[in-house]
Amino acid sequence: MRKERVKENVRKVFYKLKNKIWMIPATAMMLQTKVLASSSISTAEVNQATENIKNAVIKLAMPIRWNFSIC
């Protein structure tokens, strides 16, 4: 009899957890998360990143333009 009661209690706790567990991701999505850098990014780093992106786009676009001109 006692064994059945323990099983029933465990089952109740499991179902309570199961019904409430969806609240964790929902709450996490509702929180405003702001990631702050420990130090600010300098202008030189921003300019270097911009140049890197421009160079990557140009390197990718050149073969595409060459293929369009052949077609």
| CA 30 remoteness from chain centre | 14
Rg value, the chain, Cα? 28
Tens of pLDDT, residues 14-64? 888 887 888 888 787 777 766 655 566 778 888 999 999 998 888 877 666
The type of residue at 5 is R
Tens of pLDDT, residues 29-38? 777 766 655 5
Q: Read off the tokens for 23.
A: 């609240």
